């Protein structure tokens, strides 16, 4: 197959700028002696900015280690002290960095003073929060959102996470638990929540969320305007720093770039041969696989994993908004997968490349039913690649490339 | 004598009888589903446990590395082994159980299904929420069964189940004797039988046998008292192997045995609230805790209490290699059991006994009295 010129959107510089600002904030807060919390994806990130606490993420840091090659050693360290092989790579990598920090990519995460144990995706968050709070002997606050069903929500818009309805009984419980989280943060910081700041952060969050939701929507344009190699980090913005001014600055620039490109009708490669969907946590060690496919003419207008991370904030209902963050298809019964088909149809997809992240049940157990649904409803075939997101040893990049090439041949 | 119980488990003959008598059969995917609610509505709760030794059908639907408990359930479901079921109830206890409910209801259809949402924490707000959630489940099931939900009937079912737990506790205590009256294999057979019988019938049957068990001589010729730890483990082969090598299994914390019955329901309070408290409060719910403590600490305390009572001198962990709870918790549990020797066995199906024999034998020999 012939390789084509590859023209990414150029988000790399924007991410660099975002990380620089994020780290500067962290350092400043650490110097001022502000407490550090550990948080998990789909947590209410706005509260980090309302309370001016330092935030660290036992999912983002391992992804960073994977991209820089230290995660394998850290995974081995965790397993050598008895943790299971078939559990989350993020957990094993983070734990390895606690046990043997000298093997970890620097800077390691600051030690937590508290842990916010929200389960809006996987119970593994709760399982690892327990282990981390036991190791560090720090307080932890639990919020468990429902694992949603059609009965409780009706139909849900895949990108905005706006449902037909939310069953009041579950909504009220979650809202009360989130109010309890505010109380918990007041306790750990020793400060009452500043209402004006709360409003301001949610205003920024709304503005940012409007832009972020548009980016995956614009990715569905023909030809596919950008690369999944650069879209992947969007989850960092949506999961972890939503509510910050630097997330807004990022989103504004990123949105304008992709919008202009769509307007110009320009694609990531000159000749798009097939359009693919992808799902699964991205193998952070092998993101170049996306570039490889794209250079071969196979672009990715839909990344269901990135799509789970965005949602539309409503500052009039901040607590309900925090709950709506959990309304994604990975945290729902399989009947809810129907709701993603609409975008799949719009994006005119030819095939799917799905990553089974060994050790991650919440994403991997969906893969085969998703493949079955795509095929039975839309005739879309799938390639399933076993790829733990921080450990390249299971499927080295070379092997993955061969699998993808064979799949692309079969799509012709 | 005790094989009757095990036969009910293997043949599901009791379930067939209930079905013929017009009762609806409701399968549960987790210990923490309060069976009392199903029982009070006149249906028969059955704790689902698959018996397939290979899972080739489930493999095309689920990753091959997840726990074999889940793979077997789906395998048996796909093969039609659970065709007697009218409905299924899951619970959001862990990632596997959440998605297993989804996978099961996606690929195998029964008339009724419900997923109970669990809060993982025992603060007042969450206990109230959970009692409300149980009420919603009760109402949904009563609508399906066309039976009115009745609090008095629920109280009566709670009494049947508390009786069941008292009997199991009494039976379990007999394992603590110097000469344990019951082997670990027989204990598991009885427990498995209890999962697929109406507890009223089970209680009667066990009451009849209990005196006989009490009067037995007990097991004297053992060299090591062992506690067995794990989650949804229920294969007899490894338990038999351990006991054939001179050990006797005197206690356990398995979700399929002691974890299945442990913890009483307070009969003095509103029954739904009491059921919520038991479900979130006993260590068979291995992921919920008081807000100021951790569930892993509750579980460690539970294991230690069982070991103290049974005077076990060693621990054998039967770790389903795909079990997420085992994967996260065992290093901390082992650390907390520092005074006892521990053997960890990674399990999968089909169970190959030879693979474990040498290690078990060496462990027993090294720690024999
Ligand atoms: S979703 Fe999967 S990869 Fe992410 S934290 Fe949970 S178990 Fe780990
Ligand atoms: S507790 Fe372990 S064995 Fe049981 S369903 Fe969960 S993962 Fe599987």
pLDDT digits (tens, 9 = 90+) for B167-184: 999 999 999 999 999 999
Look up residue A166 and give its two tokens.
Answer: 């939310």
Q: Do residues B266 and B237 make contact, with C-beta atoms less than 8 angstroms apart?
A: no
Instruction: Nearest chain A residue to B58 by CA: give it.
Output: A368
Q: Do residues B204 and B299 make contact, with C-beta atoms less than 8 angstroms apart?
A: no
Look up residue A339 and give its two tokens.
Answer: 């709701």
Please give the C-alpha separations between residue A146 and each of A173, A360, B119, in angstroms, as whole numbers.
10, 19, 8
B63: phi > 0 → left, psi -120 to 50 → alpha, else beta; which?
beta
Q: Do residues A319 and A297 make contact, with C-beta atoms less than 8 angstroms apart?
A: no
Any A CB within 8 A of B56 CB: no
Distance CA A333, CA A273 (A): 34
Domain extents in chain A: 11-58+109-411
Phi and psi at B116, nearest 5°, equal: -85, 125
Please give the C-alpha separations between residue A94 and each of A43, A64, A119, in angstroms, as whole numbers.
18, 11, 18
Sheet holding B224-230, edge to edge: B247-252, B224-230, B314-320, B342-347
Any B CB within 8 A of A377 CB: no
pLDDT digits (tens, 9 = 90+) for B133-176: 999 999 999 999 999 999 999 999 999 999 999 999 999 999 99
Name residues whose C-beta falls within 8 Å of residue A379's C-beta, 6 or more positions apart in sequence.
none
Return the pLDDT at B178. 96
Q: How confident is the model at residue B349 (pLDDT cuts 50, 70, 90)?
A: confident
Return the pLDDT at B293. 87
Interface of A with B in 110-129 (CB under 8 A): 119, 122-124, 126-128
Return the pLDDT at B2. 78
Distance from CA of A89 to the nearest CA of B (A): 12
Q: What would the DSSP string read from start to end of B204-264?
A: HHHHHHHHHHHHS------SEEEEEEESS---HHHHHHHHHTTEEEEEE--TTTHHHH-SP
Interface of A with B in 161-180 (CB under 8 A): 169-170, 173, 176-177, 180
Low-confidence ranges of chain A (pLDDT < 70): 1
Residue with tokens 């948080």: A39
Residue A342: its H or E element: helix A341-346
Distance CA A355, CA A279 (A): 6
Residue A303: its H or E element: strand A298-303
Distance CA B106, CA B113 (A): 11
Burial of A379 (0-12, 13-18, 19+ CB in 10 A): exposed
Pocket of ligand 1 contains residue A72 by CB under 6 Å: no
Look up residue B62 and give its two tokens.
Answer: 């689920």
Instruction: Nearest chain A residue to B331 by CA: give it.
Output: A82
Look up residue A124 and give its two tokens.
Answer: 């593994």
CA angle, B288 as apex, B282 and B294 as ends, to 5°? 105
Please give the C-alpha separations between residue A251 and each of A214, B29, B34, in angstroms, as whole numbers.
10, 43, 48
Pocket of ligand 1 contains residue A311 by CB under 6 Å: no
Q: Do residues A367 and B103 make contact, with C-beta atoms less than 8 angstroms apart?
A: no
Pocket of ligand 2 contains residue B133 by CB under 6 Å: no
CA angle, A91 as apex, A86 and A92 as ends, to 5°? 65
A348: phi > 0 → left, psi -120 to 50 → alpha, else beta; which?
left
Return the pLDDT at B289. 87
Query: Model's pTM, two decimal places?
Result: 0.96
Contact yes or no for A367 and B63 at CB 8 A: yes
pLDDT digits (tens, 9 = 90+) for B230-267: 999 999 999 999 999 999 999 999 999 999 999 999 99
Helix axes B184-195, B199-215, angle to 10 degrees: 160
Domain extents in chain B: 3-153
Report, at the CATH architecture level, how domain B3-153 is classified: 3-Layer(aba) Sandwich (3.40)
Range in A317-326, A344-353, B88-97, B345-354 the model is least confident about: B345-354
Q: How confident is the model at residue B286 (pLDDT cuts 50, 70, 90)?
A: low
Instruction: Output b/e per residue, B300-317; b: 16+ Cβ within 10 A.
Output: bebbbebbeebebbbbbb
Pocket of ligand 2 contains residue B253 by CB under 6 Å: no
Contact yes or no for B295 and A130 at CB 8 A: yes
Residue with tokens 């506790």: B169
* Mean pLDDT estimate for chain B: 95
3-state secondary structure of B193: helix
Which residues of chain B does A82 touch, with a Cβ-Cβ cutoff of 8 Å? 330-331, 334, 344
Look up residue A357 and give its two tokens.
Answer: 């992240």
Return the pLDDT at B339. 87
- pLDDT over threshold 90, residue B283: no
- The contacts found for A229-233 with CB under 8 angstroms, 24 or more apart, are A229/A8, A229/A287, A229/A288, A229/A290, A229/A291, A229/A294, A230/A8, A230/A9, A230/A10, A230/A11, A230/A12, A230/A15, A231/A11, A231/A300, A231/A303, A231/A306, A232/A282, A232/A284, A232/A287, A232/A290, A232/A303, A232/A306, A233/A11, A233/A15
Return the pLDDT at B1. 66
Residue B53 has a CB neighbour count (10 Å cut-off) of 12
What percent of chain B has a predicted confidence (pLDDT) above 90?
A: 91
What percent of chain B has a predicted confidence (pLDDT) above 70?
A: 99
Return the pLDDT at B245. 97
How far is the centre of ligand 2, averaged over its atoms, from the C-alpha of B97 (Å)?
7
B128: phi > 0 → left, psi -120 to 50 → alpha, else beta; which?
alpha
Pick the atom of ligand 1 nearest to A91's CA.
Answer: 8
Pocket of ligand 2 contains residue B190 by CB under 6 Å: no
- Omega before residue A313 within 30° of 0, cis: no
pLDDT digits (tens, 9 = 90+) for A223-255: 999 999 999 999 999 999 999 999 999 999 999
H helices present in A190-337, as ranges: 195-219, 228-231, 234-240, 245-264, 288-295, 304-309, 318-324
Contact yes or no for A180 and B331 at CB 8 A: no
Count of residues in chain A? 412
Q: How confident is the model at residue B88 (pLDDT cuts 50, 70, 90)?
A: very high
Pocket of ligand 2 contains residue B303 by CB under 6 Å: no
Distance CA B344, CA B14 (A): 36
3-state secondary structure of B288: coil
Q: How confident is the model at residue B287 (pLDDT cuts 50, 70, 90)?
A: confident
Q: Do residues A46 and A267 make contact, with C-beta atoms less than 8 angstroms apart?
A: no
Nearest to A385 by CA among A368, A409, A362: A368
CA angle, A176 as apex, A173 and A179 as ends, to 5°? 155
Nearest to B330 by CA among B301, B305, B300, B352: B300
Sheet holding B112-116, edge to edge: B44-47, B25-28, B87-91, B112-116
- pLDDT over threshold 80, residue B305: yes
Residue B28 has a CB neighbour count (10 Å cut-off) of 21
Q: How confident is the model at residue B45 (pLDDT cuts 50, 70, 90)?
A: very high
Name residues whose C-beta falls within 8 Å of residue B308's C-beta, 6 or more positions apart in sequence.
none
- pLDDT over threshold 60, residue B284: no
Is the CA virtual torsion A152, A156, A161, A164 positive or negative?
Answer: negative
């Amino acid at each position: 197959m012939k390789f084509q010129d590859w023209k990414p959107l150029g988000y790399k510089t924007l991410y660099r700028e975002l990380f620089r600002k994020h780290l500067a904030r962290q350092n400043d807060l650490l110097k001022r002696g502000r407490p550090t919390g550990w948080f998990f994806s789909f947590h209410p990130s706005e509260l980090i900015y309302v309370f001016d606490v330092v935030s660290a993420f036992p999912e983002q840091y391992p992804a960073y280690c994977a991209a820089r090659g230290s995660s394998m050693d850290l995974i081995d360290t965790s397993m050598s002290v008895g943790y299971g092989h078939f559990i989350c790579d993020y957990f094993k990598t983070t734990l390895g960095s606690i046990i043997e920090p000298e093997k970890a990519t620097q800077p390691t995460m600051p030690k937590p003073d508290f842990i916010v144990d929200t389960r809006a995706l996987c119970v593994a968050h709760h399982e690892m929060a327990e282990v981390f709070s036991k190791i560090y002997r720090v307080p932890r606050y639990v919020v468990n959102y429902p694992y949603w069903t059609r009965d409780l929500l009706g139909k849900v818009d895949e990108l905005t996470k706006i449902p037909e309805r939310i069953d009041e009984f579950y909504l009220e419980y979650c809202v009360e638990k989130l109010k309890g989280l505010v109380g918990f943060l007041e306790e750990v910081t020793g400060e009452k929540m500043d209402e004006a700041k709360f409003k301001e952060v949610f205003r920024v969050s709304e503005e940012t969320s409007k832009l972020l939701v548009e980016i995956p929507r614009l990715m569905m344009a023909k030809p596919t305007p950008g690369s999944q190699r650069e879209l992947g980090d969007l989850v960092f913005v949506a999961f972890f720093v939503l509510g910050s001014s630097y997330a807004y600055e990022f989103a504004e620039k990123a949105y304008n770039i992709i919008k202009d490109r769509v307007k110009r009708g320009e694609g990531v490669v000159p000749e798009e041969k097939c359009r693919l969907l992808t799902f699964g946590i991205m193998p952070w060690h092998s993101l170049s696989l996306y570039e490889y496919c794209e250079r071969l003419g196979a672009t990715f207008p839909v990344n269901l994993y990135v799509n789970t991370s965005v949602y539309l904030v409503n500052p009039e209902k901040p607590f309900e908004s925090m709950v709506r963050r959990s309304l994604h298809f990975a945290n729902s019964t399989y009947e809810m997968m129907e709701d993603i088909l609409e975008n799949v149809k719009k994006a005119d997809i030819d095939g799917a490349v799905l990553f089974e992240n060994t050790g991650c049940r919440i994403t991997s157990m969906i893969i085969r039913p998703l493949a079955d649904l795509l095929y039975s409803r839309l005739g879309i075939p799938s390639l399933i690649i076993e790829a733990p997101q921080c450990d390249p040893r299971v499927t080295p990049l070379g092997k993955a490339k061969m699998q993808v090439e064979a799949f692309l041949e079969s799509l012709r | 004598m005790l094989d009757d119980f095990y036969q009910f488990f293997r043949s599901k003959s009791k379930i067939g009888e209930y079905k013929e008598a017009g009762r609806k059969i409701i399968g549960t995917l987790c210990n923490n589903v309060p069976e009392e609610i199903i029982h009070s509505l006149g249906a028969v709760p059955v704790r689902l446990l698959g018996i397939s030794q290979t899972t080739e059908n489930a493999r095309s639907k689920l990753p091959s590395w997840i726990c074999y408990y889940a793979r077997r359930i789906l395998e048996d479901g796909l093969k039609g082994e659970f065709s007697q079921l009218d409905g299924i109830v899951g619970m959001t206890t862990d990632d596997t159980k959440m998605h297993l409910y989804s996978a099961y209801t996606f690929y195998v259809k029964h008339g009724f299904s419900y997923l109970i949402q669990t809060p993982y924490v025992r603060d007042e707000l969450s206990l109230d929420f959970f009692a409300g959630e149980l009420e919603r489940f009760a109402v949904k099931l009563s609508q399906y069964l066309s039976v009115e939900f009745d609090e008095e009937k629920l109280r009566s079912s709670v009494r049947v189940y508390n009786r069941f737990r008292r009997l199991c506790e009494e039976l379990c205590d007999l394992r603590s004797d110097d000469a344990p009256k019951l082997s670990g294999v027989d204990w598991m057979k009885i427990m498995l039988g209890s999962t697929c019988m109406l507890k009223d019938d089970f209680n009667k049957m066990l009451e009849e046998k209990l005196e006989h068990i009490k009067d037995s001589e007990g097991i004297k010729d053992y060299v090591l008292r062992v506690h067995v730890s794990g989650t949804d483990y229920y294969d007899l082969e490894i338990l038999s192997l351990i006991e054939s090598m001179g050990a006797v299994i005197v206690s356990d914390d398995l979700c399929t045995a002691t974890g299945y019955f442990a913890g009483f329901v307070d009969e003095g309070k509103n029954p739904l609230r009491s059921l919520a408290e038991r479900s979130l409060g006993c260590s068979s719910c291995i992921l919920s805790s008081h807000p100021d403590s951790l569930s892993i600490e509750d579980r460690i305390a539970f294991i230690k209490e069982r070991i103290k009572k049974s005077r076990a001198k060693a621990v054998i962990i039967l770790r389903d290699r795909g079990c997420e709870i085992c994967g996260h918790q065992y290093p901390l549990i082992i650390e907390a059991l520092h005074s006892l020797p521990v053997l960890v066995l990674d399990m999968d199906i089909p169970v190959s006994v030879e693979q474990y024999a040498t290690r078990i034998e060496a462990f027993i020999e090294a720690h024999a009295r």
